[in-house]
Structure 1
Amino acid sequence: MADPVSAAIGAASLGLGAASLAIQIFEGVKTGYGYFQLAANIDKDCESFRIRLLMEYTRMIEWGDAAGLSRVEDHPAFDRKMRAQGALIMAVLGEMNSLLGNLRQIGLQYEAHDLTVSMDKMTVNDGGDKNDSKTSLLGTQAASPVDLSVFNTVLSTASAGKDSKRHMSGFNHIIGLSKGSLTIAKDPRRISWAMRDHNKFKEGLVRLKQLTDYLGGTLRNTQQEILLQTTRETFLGMLQLSTSVAEIKTLLSAVQVAPLPACDDDGASIFSQATTLIGSDEGQGTGQGGRHNEMSMFEKLVRFRAVYAELETVKDIEVLKYTLLKDVEALKIEVEEGGELAARTMGKYQGKIAWVEWKKYREISDGIRDGETIWKAPDVAIENVRRLVALMQRKERPVEFRVPTCLGYVQDLDNSRFGFVYQQENPAAGQTEPKSLLSLLGGDAPSLTVRMRLAQSLATSILYLHAVSWLHKGLRSASVLFFDHELDNPYITGFEYARPDRKDYTATAPPADLEWAIYCHPEYQGPNNMKAFFKKTFDIYAFGIILLEIAYWKPAEEILGFVVDNSKIDPKSKEFPKPRHDPNSLQATRAIRARLIEDEPQLLSQVRILMGDRYHDALKACIEGLSAGIPEGSQADPVVSTLIQQAYLRLVVDKMGGIVV
């Protein structure tokens, strides 16, 4: 068929029944997609086609939400829109319907029965008949019940007015598949995959993507932005639900079938092609470097998640041995006043500015030799350090992670600790030591614009880190570094306690002193904190404390009364005032969350005055935990983790992203 725009030219008046006809064709297109989702006996080499069809289906129904086609109550609004875009919409939907029929002929076989298939008949069924046929996305199913109606109601409060209303049809469909709670109307064994021509099928998928792009172009600018945001949420959800190496590689293959839509903003969308990879040559237009620069952000995330998943399963120690720095003599550490065991020490490596971030480990016995007990680092601790360093060395890491490249690690046997060695990231900044956010707090406050951009950058970085199932575990203002005078260009460090977001993964808890505890969620403090698994919401809580510091431009310990504000000390007084709260009290540090939410609401009210409503709401969401409607203690479950990510997108990233200073 010709270009839909050309097909629309010269179209006759559509009449009053045009909207009704478009709705019927739209339902037919949904049915066409339904055949592929219900088909059985799929080969591995076709799995990426099925996933890409699912991606395009979610894009189409999200367009239907925005256009007013999906719900009966919205049909009058769609009828009005048909006057301007009717011919184009009819042409596109008609071609999509025909194209899906051709793809069925190429890729499926089914018995000649009166078979009715509809995606709408795959409805969420939280109770369900045990005899119902069920399907799940990439084999992932939720281990805990999730009340999607409660969760969706909570997220709807993030919408700002009628024009910003976002539906969640595509996202809910993905979650429903993963919960194994979508009931299939007919026995899927009556339809099966039987691919006859891979190349023609791929060409059809590319055309489907183009047609969905055309549909998006029929919306107003505001609606187009909402469509991009909802599609981003759905696709990030698919990434989160892909847990094995095979599943992630399948998703990557699906993404590579056709380039994802780009946008014109400055990198806020996961579809933006304006971003680069660590170590890629910006001026290189061809070859591998050029290909990397052309990737959408979502493709980069999927690619990096695949690298991460492979490193998690590496058994051959040879693959990881290069993470240990052999030429330790080249590392010249200059011990600072913080003491020999300071968490970060500056130095030089091969003549360039470098720094080392230390992680203590508990020694275990390695036997007795010559009457003396030999102590060593646990093998699992060494393996975890090597995997983490190998990950931070990879050039596939998107720059939006804002994570500096790790050169390798050293082992300090005398002090039972590992050292993660980093080097200057910005050559243009010269050979100057990086400054931490903590060291700048309390000085002259930057402009509101700079502080807002800093907060937005950190919020996006945490989103992407969590999107690849990476928990930081040590977020605090001391781990935010700047290599130049641009405060809106931060780097996140302090990954010595980071780990994958998996239930079966053990790791060391950060130290219990005030400089860590003040950022630590109350559920993860105290002598029994290792009995609780670290959660995404704990990282998000720590980010909330950092947002508090950025708003006040003071250290959290000062804002929260754990140290005395020196500016309020009377130099003539002979008595030195005591802090309002004991910095050595576990009870006091565990009470921080309750103080911010309930006991001392004026602390957050001041944030509203300083930074505005949206910033205040995002900060409060971080502190509260984003977990309404989600079972407690189940965040390692892929489905629940996806819902947390969705809430963080809506209530934090998008809230702050909408701030214009």
Structure 2
Amino acid sequence: MEVAAGVVGIASFAFQTFQGCVQAFQFVERAQLIGYDGEVFRTGLLWERYRLMQWGQRAGLLEKGTPDASLNWDFAKIFLEQIDGLLTSADALKKRYGLDVSVEEIEEEQSRDLQPPEKGIPAFIAKLRPEIHTAAGKVIQSRNGPMKRVRWAALGKSDAERLVKDIAQLNDRLVMLLDSADRERRKAEDEKLLRGLVSLTTTAMQVSQLETVLPVVTEKKKTAAAIAAAAHLKQVRLLLGTDKRADEIRTQPSVQAREAARMPVVKAMKRTLRPYHGQELTYTGLEFAVHGVQPVIIQWKASNSSDKQEWTKHEQQIKLLVALLSAMEDPSFRSLPCLGHYPAPNQTCYGIVYAAPDDKHAWQLTSLYDIIPAVQDVSLAKRLEIAKAVAETILQLHTAGWLHKSLKSESVVFFADKEVSAGKAIQSDPFVFGYDYARPDSTEGAVYTQWSEANLAGDLYRHPNAQGHDRETYQKRFDMYALGCIFVELLFWKRLVDIHAEWTCPGLMATMEVAQKTNTMPEGWKLPSMMELLENGAAVARMTHLAGEKYIKAVRTCVFIDKAEEGQEASLEEEIEVVETLGSCRV
């Protein structure tokens, strides 16, 4: 009893210091530090306040919480006092940083003005974690009397960076006081929030500000590296002005100049292409070739026009697409290095050129679409691995605000030695290809989407609202629908057309062949959808038997994901849930 009472007493003192830290973050004054550097400083402080609040929640200091008896509250109080001192003590700031500061008191009425922020990263955090903003307000309002606020006569960029870094280190020490399970949960929550913040940013400057608080990337921190890579792709996309959302702002020339060094260099490959190991060039789809002495992979895109003006427009779209693909260097994108583009006007097409895995092997490439009928048995564990890999890739794209727009089983490609069988090829890691054009999601931009009305097999992967002349502007949920289609193919280990023919639309293949030849759809007939498949009780029972409830949950999430509100960025929460659900499936 005495030990427990002692813990409560020390925790009570720590809570008072915790309150002081929260209010200090809220009312810290930033005089003489304006513009980009000022925003970076504010973002750093805001992130550290969020981390402190998360720690307080885990430690049991927030409303209705019980202080964690296993936590070393003596150390916690010391670290909290140090944070409080860095934000409110003129003496500490003068001694540690040589800063010219003064401290003033704020009237209690001022301290209660805690409306949610309206714009920028503070508003994004409040949107994604409203409970944290509310909890901070309650902590501040529960403290009686006036509050301290530091005024800096001047604060340089390096001083600001040192101050934020020191606060971050103290927060790290507080986190280390939690048990390992709590630390892991906190880490996962932070990663989700950072991914959501990258997604919500609307300017290249905001991405730069956010990058300063991303975790340090190391070889072991693959998730941190993936989020940083998504932020870089988002930065490139915003600088290019491609696939621009309604709420995104075109980058100012001054910002563009500052970030120019980070932009990929788009190269036109001018040497003649040669066949790869005797294979004749087809100038269609995805194929190997030799450029100079280097083996490469070419993704061909048809121009469908020899008109010079149209060719120039097409070339600009290709260059934008190549710039984005060149920024996808992290393994989380499951893409090979993009080397540039290859114009082939005589073939009325353009090639996107990728480096081959290496030049030491004679390679073959095989798509998931081609492997499915060629390989009879593939373990459920391997199929789950492929599903999760593709889901992670789409999450990466959507974090950066980019859409694949043409996802299907033909887009998932495996590389293997030319001599091995398809069964061996599928044991390699999957890559994702086949991206549609980078363009604004607008009526004018939609002209450049490769939308073959005759490709009915491809249309099976498209959401019903993404088909036909009256289709909606492309959205994240349409990529997710296509992802759900691939999940079902992996589950049944059949092509999507065969799955629908068995469960939703008998005779589908024959009907599609007639429609393809005549270029007309039978009257009153429409392509079957995933919604129909998931409404078929017998089909769902079979799928559940084959892969279990969790896998079916992931499929349903992909297919039935809600449309985002007008002018709002779609949340990543359901996409993250899909990845986590697949990761939790056990064979």
Same fold (TM > 0.5): yes
Question: 1:15-94 counterparts in 2 under 5 A?
Answer: 15-36=7-28, 42-72=34-64, 75-76=65-66, 78=67, 81-94=68-81
SS of corresponding position for 1:441: helix
1:615 aligns with one of 531, 545, 551 = 551
Q: Paired residue for 1:477?
A: 409
Question: 1:360-371 counterparts in 2 under 5 A?
Answer: 360-363=302-305
Matches of 1:117 and 1:427 in 2, distance apart? 67
Q: AA paired with 2:366? A: K
Matches of 2:204 and 2:71 in 1, distance apart? 46
1:393 aligns with one of 326, 330, 349 = 326
1:303 aligns with one of 232, 236, 247 = 232
Per-residue CA deviation, residues 169-191 of structure 1 (Å, 9 max, x unaligned), is: 459999x9xxxxxxxxxxxxx99
Q: Paired residue for 1:135?
A: 118
Q: AA paired with 1:402? A: R
* Alpha carbons of structure 1 residues 343 and 264: separation in structure 2 relative to 1, 3 Å: closer
* Alpha carbons of structure 1 residues 138 and 90: separation in structure 2 relative to 1, 3 Å: closer
* Alpha carbons of structure 1 residues 109 and 542: separation in structure 2 relative to 1, 3 Å: farther
Could you tell me whether the CA contact under 8 Å between 2:367 and 2:411 is conserved in 1?
yes
- CA drift of 1:590 comes to 4.9
* Alpha carbons of structure 1 residues 65 and 613: separation in structure 2 relative to 1, 3 Å: farther
Q: AA paired with 1:85? A: N
Per-residue CA deviation, residues 254-307 of structure 1 (Å, 9 max, x unaligned), is: 44xxx5487967x3xx33xxxxxxxxxxxxxxxxxxxxxxxx443333334333
Q: Paired residue for 1:645?
A: 572
- CA drift of 1:136 comes to 1.4
Q: Paired residue for 1:156?
A: none
* Runs of 5+ consecutive residues of structure 1 not aligned to the other structure: 1-10, 125-133, 153-166, 177-189, 272-295, 366-374, 566-576
Matches of 1:297 and 1:564 in 2, distance apart? 39
* Runs of 5+ consecutive residues of structure 2 not aligned to the other structure: 94-98, 138-148, 242-250, 258-262, 417-424, 516-520
Per-residue CA deviation, residues 563-619 of structure 1 (Å, 9 max, x unaligned), is: 999xxxxxxxxxxx9448843459766541320333x14333333222222222111
Q: AA paired with 1:610? A: L
1:508 aligns with one of 440, 449, 458 = 449
Per-residue CA deviation, residues 436-479 of structure 1 (Å, 9 max, x unaligned), is: 11111132232222222222211111111111121111111111
- CA drift of 1:107 comes to 9.1
Question: 1:404-423 counterparts in 2 under 5 A?
Answer: 404-423=336-355
SS of corresponding position for 1:456: helix
1:526 aligns with one of 453, 463, 468 = 468
* Alpha carbons of structure 1 residues 263 and 434: separation in structure 2 relative to 1, 3 Å: closer
Q: Paired residue for 1:98?
A: 85
Matches of 2:265 and 2:26 in 1, distance apart? 48
1:356 aligns with one of 278, 298, 301 = 298
Per-residue CA deviation, residues 213-256 of structure 1 (Å, 9 max, x unaligned), is: 2222233333222211111111112212222222222323444x
Aligned residues: 532
Q: Paired residue for 1:439?
A: 370
Matches of 1:97 and 1:581 in 2, distance apart? 73
Q: Paired residue for 2:488?
A: 548
Could you tell me whether the CA contact under 8 Å between 1:361 and 1:417 is conserved in 2?
yes
Q: Paired residue for 1:323?
A: 267
SS of corresponding position for 2:270: coil
Q: Paired residue for 1:245?
A: 204
Could you tell me whether the CA contact under 8 Å between 2:461 and 2:485 is conserved in 1?
yes
* Alpha carbons of structure 1 residues 497 and 601: separation in structure 2 relative to 1, 3 Å: farther
Q: Paired residue for 1:274?
A: none
Q: Paired residue for 2:143?
A: none
SS of corresponding position for 2:342: strand
Could you tell me whether the CA contact under 8 Å between 1:518 and 1:589 is conserved in 2?
no
Q: Paired residue for 2:145?
A: none
The answer to whether the aligner puts 1:450 opposite 2:389 as a matched pair is no
Matches of 1:191 and 1:435 in 2, distance apart? 63
Matches of 2:562 and 2:451 in 1, distance apart? 23
- CA drift of 1:423 comes to 3.5
Could you tell me whether the CA contact under 8 Å between 2:333 and 2:397 is conserved in 1?
yes
Per-residue CA deviation, residues 125-159 of structure 1 (Å, 9 max, x unaligned), is: xxxxxxxxx531259889xxx9x7xxx9xxxxxxx
- CA drift of 1:548 comes to 0.9
Q: Paired residue for 1:459?
A: 391
Q: AA paired with 1:607? A: M
Root mean square deviation of aligned Cα: 4.1
Q: Paired residue for 1:382?
A: 315
Could you tell me whether the CA contact under 8 Å between 2:318 and 2:437 is conserved in 1?
no
* Alpha carbons of structure 1 residues 425 and 82: separation in structure 2 relative to 1, 3 Å: same
Q: AA paired with 2:398? A: H
2:531 aligns with one of 586, 590, 594 = 594
Structure 1 length as normaliser, TM-score? 0.70
Matches of 1:113 and 1:64 in 2, distance apart? 24
User: Whose relative contact order is higher, 1 or 2, with alpha carbons under 8 Å and at least 6 apart?
Assistant: 1
* Alpha carbons of structure 1 residues 235 and 578: separation in structure 2 relative to 1, 3 Å: closer
Question: 1:257-272 counterparts in 2 under 5 A?
Answer: 260=216, 267=222, 270-271=223-224
* Alpha carbons of structure 1 residues 391 and 472: separation in structure 2 relative to 1, 3 Å: same
Q: Paired residue for 2:584?
A: 658
SS of corresponding position for 1:359: strand
Question: 1:156-171 counterparts in 2 under 5 A?
Answer: 169=131
- CA drift of 1:545 comes to 0.7
SS of corresponding position for 2:572: helix
SS of corresponding position for 1:491: strand
- CA drift of 1:89 comes to 2.4
Matches of 1:432 and 1:263 in 2, distance apart? 28
Structure 2 length as normaliser, TM-score? 0.78
Q: AA paired with 2:583? A: G
Per-residue CA deviation, residues 297-328 of structure 1 (Å, 9 max, x unaligned), is: 43333334333433447999xx9995322113
Could you tell me whether the CA contact under 8 Å between 2:273 and 2:289 is conserved in 1?
no
SS of corresponding position for 1:544: helix
Q: Paired residue for 2:161?
A: 202
Could you tell me whether the CA contact under 8 Å between 1:324 and 1:410 is conserved in 2?
yes
Q: Paired residue for 1:489?
A: 429
* Alpha carbons of structure 1 residues 222 and 607: separation in structure 2 relative to 1, 3 Å: farther
Could you tell me whether the CA contact under 8 Å between 1:359 and 1:419 is conserved in 2?
yes
Could you tell me whether the CA contact under 8 Å between 1:497 and 1:510 is conserved in 2?
no
Question: 1:146-157 counterparts in 2 under 5 A?
Answer: none
Q: AA paired with 2:411? A: S
SS of corresponding position for 1:433: strand
Q: AA paired with 1:521? A: H
1:559 aligns with one of 499, 503, 506 = 499
Matches of 2:110 and 2:218 in 1, distance apart? 33
SS of corresponding position for 2:289: strand
